[in-house]
Structure 1
């Protein structure tokens, strides 16, 4: 029948006649008016409705343009041996079984279900069976998806889930289609062609000579990015950064950062398409076993997408596991070998991936993606970037100019000399005795650009660099201002532990001791605090960092409810480090304390909560909970992750099922209070007082305040000189007056 109406204006008669002809065709072939698949751009044949609802959907949402062969509504499958014929020659092209040269989908796409389309049709038909005879609310597929959703959300193990299935089968009427074991569930949801998930490739890696063989579980990201755009809501969220209305000049998203804008400016064709993805990569090691004494470790590699709104970027649902490197030992500097398949896919994403369907806009487009930076703790920072993270040149940003000094008695390297980051005329630069006994006139080192780093490692510089990072294989990597982000979480934790451990003299965390005092003597500073040797014990005179019991209690109380200012961060950090140098021993200043001077890279990367390890550390706990078999931890993680992600994709198309990876309070961008907080009901007077305070501190409202005061003085001339009365009258009437004023203007 004629299908040209799909391209007509939805307000035209041609579209109206086409919709009615389509609905009549579906009713005649399916012999039902209540259980018909809706082919609109939002439902894409995944939801069943009656004729009236489908008619409304086709008018409001439009028809899915990729649905060319109406196999779900009565048209027969068109068998063909040429799965790559042109769209122009094939009016019956099936978006599920055949691939066109124009669209150019790859073999990893879930749209390819093999050469026999009837296998896929059988799977769909089996999933459409009712749960039991006469049931109209659930089909076998929807019931299994909801059960799997509960299993993934609450971490239900296989034994418990199997018993739940058996109980469900006993409770339901005879003839129900609920499986009675996990194996039957897996048989109902595996690919009919290969019998396994297309997202997993588990095999022994072919590694370079000298690198121990490991099992690497690789989950290709490209087909999963395609799946994200096939969800109407997710596809809409992936352009949030470009569609947001509130741009107030504040840095609230990575899209506001210079790193993001550099990609837009240097590659305009990339930046002009808001659907092109900006990614970050995180890798960390964790122990999959409950026993903390075990030295076994896994190494997952996770991608996150920054196109999403701030409340979704770092949520579990959108953390994409791409690699799982098996233990028992860490890959170390050889991690580049295991990253090769991911780097190949990132290259393909930068070139272009054609034929990606956008369910929100109802069209195909060409997708590209760029990796903006990696997020790791400091040891992993060294493994991924190839830089040295120990010794005299341990700072990856300062490089050869790292301010380091070896302590003779402490047998460690300290990193002092932060006065060079102060303004050139700062008084601290001229002070001697309070620091290292010398004035400071040097300037801070300039960070190396990616091009300079690449030139150094290619020329064989082994002073600060151990290897050439595999990320330099990406065309754009050397141009990025920040390629590996410093993890503020681990930095602040280590610095906090050092400060509190020294002030409160906690054993094992105290940086003070006999060796620290002798190092002060060798440096010629704070010589009054040298050890006093006695017959039985050595006494350490109290230093500036030693507190009395009362002072220690005051320190602990001061942390309760503390709020730290966020403005002038870079300047305040340097002054704080210099103050610490004045009062703390040199042994206090390890590399983590020095890295504090560089965490103000927020200017280049955006808000810090988009690039610290807190969400990834929480996700490690989720992956650890997947392990049910101690002898095969990576296999457990892989299978559970695949099952959860498959369930997540299915629940995108079920209206009454909540997703696993996003809290219900986050779905509309509204957050609940943190744990320990209470919700208070505000009365009307207090709410008006807060409203008035906001209005009076808004620059755009100031002219209206003056107008209102003039209005009051005109209306009440005898009170013109009574300032308090005028102010009270203004406070009680200004909000309503302003509302009326705005209403009249509109």
Structure 2
């Protein structure tokens, strides 16, 4: 790494990019990073010292999905690099490849021994030549945490992730309960995480029929665990069952002393093993959808779940009712009626999303059978982030609906690119209340270990920073790349190893010997090209020459002038001249704006000469003032700001025509208000035409849109912004154009076939988490306000209500 000049420079990125404003953009801003700096200042003094994250998981190296072969790559990522580089495929190091056909399980420590030895050596330091400083230095490295799914968590941490102590964070204090009829352990009791004075602790009938007096479980740190396992004797391979049972009785939740404790610094780390947000989010979303739609094998409700309620002596109105030879299950508050299930599936089936947002979810939806099957992890991710609250809008009673909305809001907040440390404390409190609401409205069988782990995710974000540096998505993609390396199916590990070494050699040659390609010079799908003629973006369709009418030309040119920064001084100059020349305009801002808009293009053309010798004004400003040609190029697709736009008329399976813009508008308190004020207003519309205005020496892209009316075409309902896209568009007939660079992409979800109202959703650009700059305008903030809904608003409606719905049919078995 330090032999390549570009890479060696990038490895010190973290030194000059640490934020002091309380915002976390990268692990360098996290508590975990600061803790290492404080405990080992000699390590942090040299910014070239490396900080690694380790990830491992099993994958099937063959195309035959029925094969149960599993090999385990062990990968390292370097957090010294910038956010857009450290998790990229090119910078993931394949350190070990544990061969199949079976997973290593608890014996993974044996395979990790060479890597641990190297990490111990790197902690002490090795002499390395730095091509930037042209000198040798003592290189050190630290492993700051591991990244893995929950089964691999057990293998690496050495603790059990099943049974009564399945939660590795709660440890021996895990609250578990055996459900006799469902034949499973569940993990509830989340009220104990609430403050001692919280009213939910005293409400017995809403939960398990008991008052909650227990305190928040204490989380054991690394030193405590290391002391506890000091004399633990590991047994690897096939061990006598009597020995294993006796060892288990002695150490409870621990299966072994993890090999990572051989690292001298491991016990001092703030957080050693990360919970994988990707798999937790996927499993929780799958449980919610399966329960709402009552999907066989996925639903957490049913006859056995109701019998468990009967055994627990709670929610008596949901107990099974014997009717002759059949059993009737009353509809719970989370139960959807048949019509609601069909509407749920229809909304998902008909929803079109922008390019690169997700896969085509409609392929996994059956409206007739009211089923959603075959979704991938990323599909569940986008459902949980934005789509699920929109799909259930208007369904279910208020309590369970807002419980789902709140947990979706929680996942949305922790998955943002920038995390506010202070706000995370409040988010942690909110998710505790949210899980208590789930305990109130959903059956006990819903609470498997994955649902319980949600309560610990906020703490890990607060300690370690944004989740995109600590989840499995980049490693799952990398394993797909490794899968493509296999050419000889009898020797898959050999193929992967040889191909990996060959590619590393080629990359080193290109960067070190030829010096041809920087690590960050990677072309993205929706990236713009540099063009001397087109100022912004790039077209992605065949152009068609059109002739603009005088009216359209004037409207477009006028908008360009009033929205170009170089023209701003002249705008103010012309306004002042108008007021000085006509004192009656001084007290009428509306009339000033009207005259100013009509006369400014002509005035500017006369003001700025096209004389090349006049160096006071820029060349762009001169040609801008002169005005565009009447002929322009029209396109059906355009890429700008990392987003792909298409006009409405050519859309098929994706929706890329939704546009929003924040613009200044005149706001009046009444029709007779003579002193209007300017305010920023968000406009929503649909893209209908893309043109390139020809200013002789350069071309400027413009979007023509049909805009929703502001006063009666846009409304906020239950925290969702809705727009009416079926109204007459005459209000904006004089202002249909905007600059392409001003457009923000949104997409719309229609309420139903008979409604003109559409819910607005924000669309992040493709590769959102890998962008090199943070832009608050493209953050996917939550669409509903259920995440911050006051608990009293939910409680009031259900204070005197039963636990069953009276507007929905039950289930007859």
Equivalent of residue 202 in structure 2, options 430, 436, 451 = 430
Post-superposition offset of 1:359: 2.1
Task: Select the structure that is richer in strand.
Answer: 2
Look up the match of 1:367: 139
Look up the match of 1:261: 34
User: Cα–Cα, structure 1 residues 589 and 730, in superposed 2: closer, same or farther, change >3 Å?
Assistant: farther
Post-superposition offset of 1:338: 1.0
- Secondary structure (helix, strand or coil) at the match of 1:594 reads helix
Look up the match of 2:739: none
In 2, the alpha carbon distance for the partners of 1:537 and 1:250 equals 58
- Secondary structure (helix, strand or coil) at the match of 2:142 reads strand
Moved more, 273-282 or 717-726: 717-726
* TM-score computed with the length of structure 2 as normaliser: 0.55
Look up the match of 2:429: 571
- Secondary structure (helix, strand or coil) at the match of 1:285 reads coil
User: Cα–Cα, structure 1 residues 448 and 323, in superposed 2: closer, same or farther, change >3 Å?
Assistant: same
Alignment of 1:396-435 (within 5 A): 396-435=168-207
Look up the match of 2:151: 379
In 1, the alpha carbon distance for the partners of 2:86 and 2:427 equals 25
In 1, the alpha carbon distance for the partners of 2:502 and 2:82 equals 26
**Residue deviations 1:504-547 (CA, integer Å, cap 9, x gap):** 11111111121110111111111211223345533322112210
User: Cα–Cα, structure 1 residues 667 and 501, in superposed 2: closer, same or farther, change >3 Å?
Assistant: closer
Look up the match of 1:511: 300
Look up the match of 1:335: 108
- Secondary structure (helix, strand or coil) at the match of 1:597 reads helix
- Secondary structure (helix, strand or coil) at the match of 1:389 reads coil
CA contact (8 A) 1:395 1:402 kept: yes
User: Cα–Cα, structure 1 residues 577 and 710, in superposed 2: closer, same or farther, change >3 Å?
Assistant: farther
Post-superposition offset of 1:357: 2.1
- Secondary structure (helix, strand or coil) at the match of 1:293 reads coil
Post-superposition offset of 1:243: 2.4
In 2, the alpha carbon distance for the partners of 1:249 and 1:685 equals 43
User: Cα–Cα, structure 1 residues 368 and 542, in superposed 2: closer, same or farther, change >3 Å?
Assistant: same
Post-superposition offset of 1:664: 2.5
Structure 1 stretches of 4+ with a deviation exceeding 4 A read: 245-248, 553-556, 558-563, 654-662, 666-671, 677-681, 683-692, 709-733
In structure 2, list runs of 5 or more residues that go unmatched. 233-249, 349-382, 391-407, 414-422, 531-537, 544-555, 569-574, 605-615, 617-813
- Secondary structure (helix, strand or coil) at the match of 1:324 reads strand
CA contact (8 A) 2:18 2:28 kept: no
Alignment of 1:582-621 (within 5 A): 582-600=440-458, 601-621=460-480
In 2, the alpha carbon distance for the partners of 1:532 and 1:543 equals 14
Post-superposition offset of 1:352: 0.7
Look up the match of 1:240: 13
Look up the match of 2:94: 321
In 2, the alpha carbon distance for the partners of 1:716 and 1:598 equals 67
Q: Does residue 1:637 correspond to 2:496, yes or no?
A: yes
User: Cα–Cα, structure 1 residues 726 and 400, in superposed 2: closer, same or farther, change >3 Å?
Assistant: farther
User: Cα–Cα, structure 1 residues 646 and 724, in superposed 2: closer, same or farther, change >3 Å?
Assistant: same
Q: Does residue 1:647 correspond to 2:506, yes or no?
A: yes
In 2, the alpha carbon distance for the partners of 1:344 and 1:387 equals 22
CA contact (8 A) 1:282 1:374 kept: yes
User: Cα–Cα, structure 1 residues 632 and 408, in superposed 2: closer, same or farther, change >3 Å?
Assistant: same
CA contact (8 A) 2:7 2:519 kept: no
User: Number of paired residues?
Assistant: 490
In 2, the alpha carbon distance for the partners of 1:536 and 1:678 equals 68
From the CA coordinates, give the structure whose radius of gyration is larger: 1
- Of structures 1 and 2, the one scoring higher in RCO (CA 8 A, sep 6+) is 2
In 2, the alpha carbon distance for the partners of 1:384 and 1:431 equals 40
Post-superposition offset of 1:423: 2.9
User: Cα–Cα, structure 1 residues 531 and 479, in superposed 2: closer, same or farther, change >3 Å?
Assistant: same
CA contact (8 A) 2:6 2:518 kept: no
Alignment of 1:14-163 (within 5 A): none
CA contact (8 A) 1:430 1:439 kept: yes
In 2, the alpha carbon distance for the partners of 1:555 and 1:519 equals 28
Post-superposition offset of 1:730: 12
* TM-score computed with the length of structure 1 as normaliser: 0.60
Look up the match of 1:281: 54
CA contact (8 A) 1:311 1:666 kept: no
